[in-house]
Amino acid sequence: MKNNSPVFYAGRHYFVLVVLVLLFASLVGRSAWLQIYNQEFLLDEGSQRQLRTIQTPAYRGTITDRFGTPLAISTPVDSVWVNPQLVLLDQDGLKKVTKSLGVNYKNTLNRLKQRANKEFVFIKRRVEPELAQKAVQGVDGVYLQREYNRFYPAGEVVSHVLGFTDIDNVGREGLELIYQDWLKAKAGKRQILRNRKGDVVENISQVVAARSGKDLQTSIDMRLQYITYRSLAKAIRHHDATSGSAVILDALSGEILAIANLPSYNPNQRKNKSAAARRNRAVTDVFEPGSTIKPFTIAAALDRKTFSKKSVINTAPGYMKVSGYPIRDFRNYGSLDLAGILRKSSNVGASKVALSMKPEQLWQAFKDYGFGEPSGISFPASSSGYFSHYSDWQPLDHATMAFGYGVSASTLQLARSYSVFANNGEIQPVSLLKLDEPQQTTRVMKPATAKMVLNMMEQVVGPKGTAQQAAIEGYRVAGKTGTVKKSAAGGYLENTYTSVFAGIVPVSNPRLIMAVMIDEPKMNGYYGGQVAAPVFKDVLTHALRLMNISPDNLTASLQVAKSTGQIL
């Protein structure tokens, strides 16, 4: 009978025991060797697993007015981002964060699930730092990234000049776009150590230094900008107009002191920026300047000696025909000298003056005065206007050019052209940046002619002129009104007008030039002298005082004061 009890192999037992002891000893020895002889290597390997390279933010350059008043600044904000691999493990925490930030929890959760393999997803950009800190507190996998938000203190008042930036601080309109390379910031890079919760525990090194953008100083005087915007808005409301624009130039330097447009928009609000509201109408929109071009017609004739200061032109019976088409005055003015043509704004008289010159002479003169030429600033969608070549003119075109039909210009172009009269016959570039040195000017008119026409335009603002509402007490003012029927396909619209005024003050030593355009006034008048001229007076009355420009017509002021009993 066999014995089936297990056989004990003592040798096998001891062999297994010895192997286990040797394995254990080797592990202990390896651990001791790593801890004693390779400690730095292990620490470095551990650090590498938590080492991250992050961006160091930098701010975009500040835009200021000519006196350093901030117009566009960068303010610190925090953007909230998450690591989906961590935050999806704490959906209650995610719900708290989304509620604090005012974002939709379900949409955010679905988006994070779709990006579950990512390590970086924004939840909300540009949050106020205090709110962002509270929102992420105590929630794993949710972090903050410092950024800068663009803020425009003046809001809609100067928005068309500045433009705005997108969410990544890239310029999209105005000066923000034109000077993007100058203003933009360059973020730096630095290496950090994070703990398992994602908190920064140590700054290791700066890899690339951050570089903030350069500041930009504009030529804008915000005191005048506010006044211009306010007065333009008031006029548009009073006359129920569609839109309007106004420009003030420094006659000495060509700097743009104010440039206002309506309708406008608030660049701090990223929504509801319609294309119509964003348009800088003073630069992009063109219109037929109407009678504001008559001083240039007179000047061209004087320079070419087809007429003289003493010339008299018969405008009776108040109309004339050119190629069978009538050109009319408001009424029969009879015989007028050149100053009378401007004072009464006679279309017949201006047409006869224009027809005394060859088409190429009138065309070249207007080109020299800036019509059909670039305004002088590099601005998005800026227009050079429309001014056809004289070879395309018919006799009627030749005649109507004299009073501003068949040629178009922007408000800025019109203001720049009037600088010829303010600068003794020289035209100069305009600038939206503050200048340290005078700009190069170009002679386009004889000094005597410029002075003569400037004095003629002073009569337009006088008691017998069409722009009495542009007169400023204590100052000699020169200017010209324009009332233009708007064109449409097939001809001109009835009862639809553009009201214009351009002027210079003070006449004895020109310092300020202003052009005003108000489109489609529907109430309380439509003539340039009724609608646009009062804006000129309102704005420049304040401007002259703010700029400490001395009066040059005290005699007239004293006479008015005596006649009203203010001085006995």
Long-range pairs for 394-399 at CB < 8 Å and ≥24 separation?
A: 394/323, 395/322, 395/323, 395/355, 396/322, 396/323, 396/325, 398/354, 398/355, 398/359, 398/362, 399/322, 399/327, 399/351, 399/354, 399/355
Distances (CA, A) of 46 to 295, 376, 386: 82, 62, 71
Q: Which of 291, 345, 417, 431 is catalytic?
A: 291
Hey, what are 304's tokens? 């070419």
User: Rounded to whole angstroms, how far apart are CA atoms 135 and 80?
Assistant: 9
Strands 121-127 and 70-82: antiparallel
Q: Are 256 and 247 in contact (CB under 8 A)?
A: yes
Residues forming a β-bridge with 205: 191
CB atoms within 10 A of CB 486: 15
Partners of residue 460 on adjacent β-strands: none
Cβ-in-10-Å burial (0-12, 13-18, 19+) of 239 comes to buried
Nearest Cα neighbor of 352 from 304, 293, 312 is 312
Question: What is the enclosing helix (H) or strand (E) of 321?
Answer: strand 319-322
In Å, how far are 180, 293, 298, 557 from 357, measured between CA atoms? 47, 16, 11, 41
Q: Hunting for tokens 């119509």 — which residue is that?
A: 276
Does residue 291 have an active-site annotation? yes
Please, how many CA atoms are within 13 Å of residue 516, restricted to the half-sphere of its CB?
31
Q: No. of H helices and E strands in the chain?
A: 22, 21
Which residues participate in catalysis according to the annotation?
Answer: 291
